C-alpha cells in the first residue's frame, strides 16, 4: 500500500500485525506502529503469582520426599533387625558349591 502523502510505503507485518512505513529511496523503515495488544496474553503479575505457586508446590513435594526417605530408612532398619533375629536362631551351615557335588 502506498501512502498518498508521499512516496513512502505502508506495510502490515504478517506475523505481528505491526504497521511499517518504508522509504523506497533509502530502503529503510521510517516509522513503526506497534500491533494492537492481545488481551489474553498473561501479565507479569499473573506470571509472578504462577511462579510463586510452582515454587511452593516444589518445596512441598521436596519436603514430602524427604519425609518419605526418613520413613523408608526406618522401615529398612526394622526389616534388617527382624531378619537378623531370625538368622540368630537358625544354625549356620556351609553353602554347597558346584565342585562339591
Domain boundaries, the chain: 1-34, 45-88
Rounded to 5°, angle at Cα 16 from 15 and 21:
100
Q: Could you report the average pLDDT of every consecutive run of 10 residues in the chain (101 residues)? A: 68 88 87 78 82 96 92 90 86 82 74
* Residue 51, pLDDT score: 94
Whole-angstrom distance, CA of residue 4 vs CA of residue 20: 15
Contacts 24+ apart (CB under 8 A), 58-66: none
pTM above 0.85, yes or no: no
Whole-angstrom distance, CA of residue 35 vs CA of residue 12: 9
Three cell numbers, residue 73: 530408612
* Residue 57, pLDDT score: 96
Amino acid at each position: 500500500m502506498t501512502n498518498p502523502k508521499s512516496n513512502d510505503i505502508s506495510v502490515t507485518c504478517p506475523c505481528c500485525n505491526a504497521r511499517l512505513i518504508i522509504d523506497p529511496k533509502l530502503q529503510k523503515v521510517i516509522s513503526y506502529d506497534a500491533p494492537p495488544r492481545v488481551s489474553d496474553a498473561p501479565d507479569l503479575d499473573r506470571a509472578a503469582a504462577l511462579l510463586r505457586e510452582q515454587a511452593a508446590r516444589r518445596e512441598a513435594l521436596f519436603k514430602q520426599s524427604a519425609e518419605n526417605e526418613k520413613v523408608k530408612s526406618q522401615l529398612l532398619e526394622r526389616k534388617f533387625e527382624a531378619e537378623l533375629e531370625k538368622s540368630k536362631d537358625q544354625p549356620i551351615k556351609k553353602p554347597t558349591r558346584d565342585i562339591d557335588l
